[in-house]
Amino acid sequence: MWVSTKAQYGLRALVEIGLRAPQAVPLKEVAEAQGISLHYLEQIAAQLRRAGFIRSVRGAKGGYRLARPPERVTALEVVEALEGSLAPVSCIEDPESCAKVGQCSTELLWKRVDLAMRGVLGGTTLKDLIEERKLLEAKKLIQLEAS
């Protein structure tokens, strides 16, 4: 399973929006803070909005807010919404796609890979990622003060 920039940027955008909660954050600010093309981020944000992760706020102080509390959003949900299937091989998701299902020596390997990936992503919330970002920023401040 190859995670595209769409899923990577989508998670980073959600972290950026979550960090600034409860304010609405303009996508332009998210794009600048994360070094993401605004045009590409607009496409990703549309998918995130349709999937119910963010909602738009109109007006002078408009932008995007999280639609759900960050502790109720898993990385797995976001990646699947942006990427589709996470299965490392097609037979994991669609057993009829392979004539070797049940007779393949590597089938269990791919099932374990799938379960491990789902376990890590499903066990990581947006709140966890926001807290990690806060820790990284605090470390930067400490390093700057020590210099």
Q: What is the pLDDT of residues 108-129, one digit of tens each?
A: 899 999 999 999 999 999 999 9
Across residues 55-61, what is the average pLDDT? 91
Report the range out of 42-46, 84-88, 143-147 with the highest average pLDDT: 42-46
Sequence spans of domains, the chain? 5-146
Residue type, 131: E
pTM of the full predicted structure?
A: 0.89
Across residues 93-97, what is the average pLDDT? 82
Q: What is the pLDDT of residue 1?
A: 63
CATH topology of domain 5-146: Arc Repressor Mutant, subunit A (1.10.10)
Q: What is the pLDDT of residues 4-27, one digit of tens each?
A: 999 999 999 999 999 999 999 999
